[in-house]
Structure 1
């Protein structure tokens, strides 16, 4: 659908409005005479992070036969569209996430959230250490600009956080946990990097 809209010249298009704020975008399918592309439109009034938990439904191609097209939309598209809208509304009903911690030089702060996830702003993590977060189960959420460690359970999270903290600590970067539950892991202290440039004259 994106290719059809951005890379081709549309002959005609229409927006169909239905109940429960549902809207379907309809265009002729390029290079396929007698077919249409139909895709659901995202409703307004939601923040970007509300879409993280919604499985956004893809568009479908249908024939120009009205009965067959209506049957395909009813069977293949509308149920997934309704599920995505319900997920959006559930996400919007939850309190907004608290603002991230202020950045402290030489420290990565991890926030333990009420839903069991652990987060830290991507901008607070050194570029050459970000791969370690991915390696140990953190996911990047671009709508929030955060690394997120899912709620695997405190035992599994403890191992992952300790591994990340150990890697950062070996490079002289501290890790601080905020809103720590009682059974959160103990973190290793930050240490001086193993290799430091000599303060004397440069090497030849």
Structure 2
């Protein structure tokens, strides 16, 4: 049986699905009229060759390859280049458009009708850039910015106050802060409503303060050192 002519888009798409790593399926779509190219093309995640071809040319058909993990590739002929096709990624569905803000598109590529060469280019060029862009979008979707007008939360800060006898007192406002203070030599004094660190051994006290500061910083908690206000 002769090899399929991969200059023909449906044959190329089916062959590419077989060559790419993992399990891929291929769906071919012929366009009966001009508007048929846009429902799928509107999902193309590209601001270069592929989107340019969609905007400038009437496309007779397209194919979509779908990986078992949901990744989708969009394939069309490359207008004016009979020895090439265009391959681009389709954007992941059901993600807030705001999550795409600031993320560079994993622009599509021109690939040879030689399906082995095309599979190598897609695997080592297009798909890694798609994975990088997808990870950024998913991160943005999981960590949306605060709504406009909502005040940003104030970062927690621990104030450590030196007293005349060398005593250092710190008030914790969270469990993480209290834990860091306790683990670095501070003890809670109910009378002061604060964690205190005696100054009998100044070298030891300095180490405790430094270590506590590093541990607090790891939790995003700042430290401010100050002296008590002078008595009138």
TM range (shorter): 0.3 to 0.5
Q: Which one has the largest radius of gyration?
A: 2
Q: Give the TM-score, by structure 2 length.
A: 0.42
